[in-house]
Amino acid sequence: MKLRNSFMLVLLTAAALTTTAEDPARAAAQRAFDAHAGKAWEPARYFAFTFAVEREGKLAASFDHRLDRYTGEYRVSGKDKDGNDFVIRMNVNTREGKAWVAGKPVEELKPWLERGYGRFINDVYWLLMPTKLLDDGTHLEYAGVQEEGGRSYDVVKLTFDNVGLTPGDIYWPWIDRESGSVDRWDMLLEGMKRDDPKRVFRFSEWKTIGGIRFSTVRTSDDGKTRILLQNIDVQREVPASALD
């Protein structure tokens, strides 16, 4: 699952947030935005977090992210497939930047900047998905009401224009009809057959940071995979040296 190009790191416009009573999909998406961010979104400039993947109880991958949402300046670090530490600093709007592996500057930058942009696209979308349903380039279709765990949910089908790295992805966020909380995310990823079983992740372990509400654990339906969103920080200004 990938973050859309429509995440342009600027404030959501009033037009993008307009909903009507005649459009239940947009109304549900607006309710999700309000529940997870609302007025806290506009001043939230700096985001930092760790995106980790756990498979069958073992850590499979972990990446540290720092983002200036206003300018697109971005830093991601982690380990490559050979176990070497890497750091990528770039601007996600211009896709220009620098990279270091094992403490040494990388000469052939293109594959590393592509890797950095891919991590930005994927991992930041995981972090902020409930706030991204009304982005430009998204198409919402109301998929009805579902009941689970004693709660009632509006299910919205989310498809995309030819944007992002995997525009063929299809998502179904489950939005609590009372609270607006996105508690479940069903998906058919690009490359999957349309009659394949959907992948399902359930959201848990909620925290409110900088006025924005985050699920810090997303667990697959079979229990084998967990997406962990750790060390989350949200600030109105970029801390000194945060993106160095």
Domains by residue range for the chain, with CATH? 24-235 (2.50.20)
Phi, psi for residue 191 in degrees, rounded to 5: 100, -20
Pairing mode of beta strands 151-160, 138-148: antiparallel
* Closest listed residue to residue 37, CA positions, set 18, 11, 19: 11
Tens digit of pLDDT at every position of the chain (244 positions): 554 444 444 444 334 444 445 799 999 999 999 999 999 999 999 999 999 999 999 999 999 999 999 999 999 999 999 999 999 999 999 999 999 999 999 999 999 999 999 999 999 999 999 999 999 999 999 999 999 999 999 999 999 997 778 889 999 999 999 999 999 999 999 989 889 999 999 999 999 999 999 999 999 999 999 999 999 999 999 999 999 9
Hey, what are 84's tokens?
A: 């070497």
The residues with which 52 forms a beta bridge, in sequence order, are: 62, 228
**What single letter denotes the amino acid at residue 231?**
N
pLDDT at residue 1, rounded to an integer: 57
* Closest listed residue to residue 144, CA positions, set 37, 28, 18: 28
State the virtual CA torsion across 89, 119, 182, 166 in degrees, nearest 10: 130
Hey, what are 187's tokens?
A: 């998906």
Residue 111's SS3 state is: helix
